[in-house]
Structure 1
């Protein structure tokens, strides 16, 4: 499945989760619910996927963890913050570079209308 089609499916499930729960919960609640919905939708999803850093040919475990990796090609970073900041975008860009993925979704569930909390990040 190509990344754009996959991202549309993920966004659809995220909207379902947001409509059901609304804003105001912890990030972990949204992540768990989205993980559940994506699995129920038949997608292969890895949660809290470790992401090593390769430095000078050495693989280092630095504690990077992708919130959700969908079908081994789409990174989903879940937030529940007042507003997304540049550092959140930088985090997704770093994950894209380290993983070799080309597309990521930064989703902030702490908004009234979820479409205002979604950022597509392309490398």
Structure 2
């Protein structure tokens, strides 16, 4: 798989984690099969007894819908910024004297746990 295809697959999987429940059941299934489970269009078409073109069109529409949700809601972007902020906070905490780190480390852990909880609930 080339780098662009891998990036697209990763992006669709992340978008699906956040917004997948808003897709139709068929779109959810096809996106999961194609992007997560690495089925080919032909394998999906055979499984669901439809044409490869129909599978392709369902996937294209699902991708468009996922990108539209992200464009309007920005949850994936927000999630990335929050995780980057938590990473920065943790590196700053590491620079503090050991006796000061405890409560700040706990707060960072609470923030990271809350942000991880959001993504695991969506899976």
Larger strand fraction of residues: 1
TM superposition score normalised by structure 1: 0.26
Bigger relative CO (Cα 8 Å, ≥ 6 apart) = 2
TM superposition score normalised by structure 2: 0.26
